[in-house]
Amino acid sequence: MQRFAPYLGIAAALALGAILVAFSGSVTVSYAPTAVVQTASSTIAVGSGFSIPTISLPALPPVTDTTASSAPKKKVAIPPSPVAPAPSAAAPVPAPSPTPSSGDVGLDAAASTLRAALVNIICYAPAGGTLHSISGSGIFIDPKGIILTNAHVAQYFLLADRGVSCTIRAGSPAADDYKAALIYIPSLWINTNASVLTQTAPSGTGEHDFALLAVTKSATSAALPSAFPFIPLAEVPPSAGTPVVIASYGAQFLESNQVQSSLFPTIVFGSVKDVYTFATNTIDVLALGGSAAAQEGSSGGGVAGASGKLVGTITTSTVEGATATRSLDAITASYIRSDYASDTGSALDLLLAKPTSSAISDFSPQIPGLESILTAQL
């Protein structure tokens, strides 16, 4: 059964001017298809009725200073293992909220680490064109300033020649902090999903939907930190029933001006409800159920376990009805590692070990070709 869902971050239109806003043991496979604070980010939903939850905003000037693969997702059964219009003045502004507690010391520590590593990615497109501005999420996974996000968010970094400008924001509320450049985006995702760029409600499965950015400079007068807050990428995926914490900058319920000035992190405790594969017996997708994180703008947000590592990246979700009744999905860190190695013939850790300047210059020759694939859709 194919599981298509909306991309969180692209599906909802706001009136912002120019911005839209594997395992041990036996495994059998069959085909088959969390307390928080609202914020804005971009996520993609998988499955029938799922959409890509990036948030789209109307065109607006920058403030001064997907469709995804149609491959079916298979359910992985694993036995227990031993080990829109301009905002009105009356629109309410969400208040910041402290990081909630799960009652689990390890998970609470992971929540603090994940929140510190969380960023908002906002990309402004020129007004009056076919491109939409978007708001999504990302996670620092390396102290040198490397950010993991979704391909359906990072594709906007390929469009600088089309007047698109992207900024990395952080904090509560999110504020401009950094500029960044692409160091990896799967060409397979671009080739398969180029039309996502101009779709109002794209959907997909999350396959190949990840990308890596590297901070290049400060977006303010402040100097870059000597090290960025980060959460390391896990090697092993969680199984169904594992407690997790989810973080994103969800923005579906915000007006456009609030996305720019009053966007706060959404932190949710929950658990893995089910697991799926793109292949045969690997755990590639985590079904996380409904929560405040299941909203547009959460794409690229993170999922962490009590080990203090990033086990997944939000890609897709259903975006209608109460958030508690929605279905949020994330691709696993182990899938990201495997897919990167399959595409490049190299381990992801080797890319993360490079100086960021080298990673940027090594990837830059691929940008013109990838850009041309996207611009052919405009």
pLDDT, one tens digit for every residue, the chain (378 residues): 356 666 665 433 333 433 333 222 323 222 233 333 332 333 332 233 345 555 555 444 443 333 333 445 665 544 333 333 333 333 444 445 555 665 576 899 999 999 999 999 999 999 888 888 899 999 999 999 999 999 999 999 999 999 999 999 999 999 999 999 999 999 999 999 998 888 877 788 899 999 999 999 999 999 999 999 999 999 999 999 999 999 999 988 887 788 888 999 999 999 999 999 999 899 999 999 999 999 989 999 999 999 999 999 999 888 889 999 999 999 999 999 999 999 999 999 999 999 999 999 999 999 999 999 999 988
CA 189/CA 205 separation, integer angstroms: 11
304 domain-assigned? yes
Range of 307's domain? Answer: 5-76+103-375
Which of left, alpha, beta for 310 (phi over 0: left; psi -120 to 50: alpha)?
beta
Nearest C-alpha neighbor of 224 from the set 356, 115, 354? 356
318 domain-assigned? yes
Of the CA atoms within 13 Å of residue 120, those in its CB half-sphere come to 31
- Into how many domains does the chain fold? 1
Q: In what order do the strands lie in the sheet with 328-332?
A: 28-31, 74-77, 274-277, 285-289, 328-332, 310-317, 302-304, 243-248, 266-271
Q: Which one-letter DSSP state was computed for residue 324?
A: G
Contact call for residues 57 and 192 (beta carbons, < 8 A): no
CA 291/CA 58 separation, integer angstroms: 26
pLDDT of residue 61: 42
- Residue 195 phi/psi, 5-degree rounding, is -70, -15
Per the structure block, which two tokens stand in for 50? 């799922």
Contact call for residues 148 and 138 (beta carbons, < 8 A): yes
Per the structure block, which two tokens stand in for 78? 């694993």
Please provide the DSSP assignment of 131-186 as one string. --EEEEEEEEEETTTEEEE-HHHHGGGG-GGGT-EEEEEETTTTEEEEEEEEEE--
pLDDT of residue 204: 83
User: Which helix (DSSP H) or strand (DSSP E) does residue 202 occupy?
Assistant: none
In this prediction the pTM is 0.80
225 domain-assigned? yes
User: Which helix (DSSP H) or strand (DSSP E) does residue 375 occupy?
Assistant: helix 367-375
88 domain-assigned? no
Nearest C-alpha neighbor of 247 from the set 284, 289, 298? 298
Amino acid identity of residue 158, one-letter, is L
DSSP 3-state percent helix, strand, coil across the chain (nearest 5):
20, 30, 50
98 domain-assigned? no
Handedness of CA 191, 196, 199, 201 (dihedral sign): positive
97 domain-assigned? no
94 domain-assigned? no
Q: Residue 186 sits in a domain of what CATH number?
A: 2.40.10.120
Per the structure block, which two tokens stand in for 29? 């496979």
pLDDT of residue 275: 96
CA 330/CA 266 separation, integer angstroms: 16
Q: Any bridge partners for residue 134, and if so which? A: 56, 123
Taking the CB of residue 90, how many other CB atoms lie within 10 A of it? 5
286 domain-assigned? yes
Please provide the DSSP assignment of 52-116 as one string. EEEEEE-B-PPP-------PPPEEEE-PPP---PPPPTTPPPPPP-PPP--S-HHHHHHHHHHHH
pLDDT of residue 100: 61
pLDDT of residue 199: 81
